[in-house]
Amino acid sequence: MQAAPIELFDRLSVAAVIKVTGGCVYGVPITAPSLGALKQGVGMTRKWGTCVLIGLPLREYPTPVFDVVANCITIRVLMRAHSPRSDGNACGRRR
């Protein structure tokens, strides 16, 4: 299989991923804490696939629940132990 570069800042990037892969992908890492990045990531994920959010935004943002539930997509979150929202404990528990 040949690798193909895709510009992920483009609005048509989801369509480009679907075209190149012949479907969608099983695992999507999302490093930008924005609603647009989450929507693109969910749009690129195959049924039963996984989106991994690396870090959390400083505010709440809505998740496209219908797409996630309808396609059985798993969303996982990786948080740094020393993020601005934690006290240094990865689980967020007080010591």
Q: What's the CATH code of the domain at 52?
A: 3.40.50.720
Q: Is residue 2 part of a domain?
A: no
> Which of these ranges, 15-19, 21-25, 44-48, 87-91, has the smallest mean pLDDT?
87-91
Domain total of the chain: 1
37: confidence class by pLDDT, cuts 50, 70, 90: confident
User: Range of 28's domain?
Assistant: 19-78
> Which of these ranges, 27-36, 43-52, 65-74, 84-93, has the smallest mean pLDDT?
84-93
Provide the angle, in degrees to the nearest 10, between the axes of the packed helices 13-21 and 35-44. Answer: 20
Longest dimension (CA), the chain: 50
Residue that the structure tokens 């629940």 belong to: 65
| The predicted structure's pLDDT at residue 71 | 92
Of the candidates 57, 60, 41, 58, the one whose C-alpha atom is nearest the C-alpha of residue 49 is 41
Q: Is residue 65 part of a domain?
A: yes
Q: Is residue 70 part of a domain?
A: yes
CB 32 within 8 A of CB 55: no
Q: What is the pTM of this model?
A: 0.68
- Tokens linked to 47: 């049924």
